[in-house]
Amino acid sequence: MPIPRVLGVLISGRGSNLKAIIGAIADGRLNVRIAVVISNRAGAPGLEHAREAGIEALVLNHLDHLTREAYDMTLVKALRDRGVGLVCLAGFMRLLSPGFVDAFPDRIVNIHPSLLPKYPGLQPQRQALDDGATVSGATVHFVNKDLDAGRIVLQDTVPVRPGDTEHDLADRILEVEHRLYPEAIARVLAAG
């Protein structure tokens, strides 16, 4: 069965990848509709990108829930109620419980600022610099029950330059992310 071309995007902060996805839809690179953007933080600046594009911007605060599982089931219900076919994590700073992953099998993607399996988890740019890497990059991958370990959809490399700060590297990777994420979503939807 083809994946319904309806996205739910989960964010926690800035939302520049969300903005890139919205842009790709607007200029015809990505044939999909975003049904809802959900943030676990009320003040996430990325919510503004959704509102500006006329997309429902929903705040579901994890602190209002007693357990991770309870929160995740609230997310699942909100996504299902809106007919979401593919869940896109875009800077969503929460680990997903197995119950969430089971609710959308092979239907959750994430973007991570490293060439996975290198530098999973927190501060991947810091990890790359500390490792003396000369190349890093960005990866779009399916989400499974293990951290940053699901099947890879697309990756691209980014040079690490001498004297780079974590910030320099993060910015350079982010430019690649903004091109890569819409392309990877299109690929997942085309593969059905």
**Under the rule (CB under 6 A), what is the footprint of ligand GRF?**
11, 13-17, 46, 90-91, 111-113, 174, 177
Least CB distance to ligand GRF at residue 121 (A): 11
Coil, strand or helix: which one is 107?
coil
Q: Which residue is nearest to ligand GRF (CB)?
A: 91
Minimum separation from the CB atom of position 177 to ligand GRF (A): 5
With respect to ligand GRF, which residue has the nearer C-beta, 97 or 139? 139
Q: What is the CA radius of gyration of the chain?
A: 16
Name the minimum Å distance from CB 178 to ligand GRF: 8
- Nearer to ligand GRF by Cβ, of 91 and 150: the residue is 91
Q: Of 49, 62, 65, 112, which one is the catalytic site residue?
A: 112
**In terms of CB distance, is 4 or 120 closer to ligand GRF?**
120
For the bound state, the minimum distance from the C-beta of residue 81 to ligand GRF, rounded and expressed in Å, comes to 24
Whichever of 77 and 145 has its CB closer to ligand GRF, that residue is 145
Give the torsion sign (CA, 73, 143, 149, 18).
negative
Alpha-carbon separation of residue 12 from 44, 47, 57, 89, 154 (angstroms): 6, 9, 12, 9, 23
How far is the C-alpha of 86 from the C-alpha of 79, rounded, in Å? Answer: 9
- Which residues contact residue 157 at a Cβ distance below 8 angstroms, ignoring those fewer than 6 apart? 115, 135, 136, 137
112 is an active site residue: yes
Active site (catalytic) residues: 112
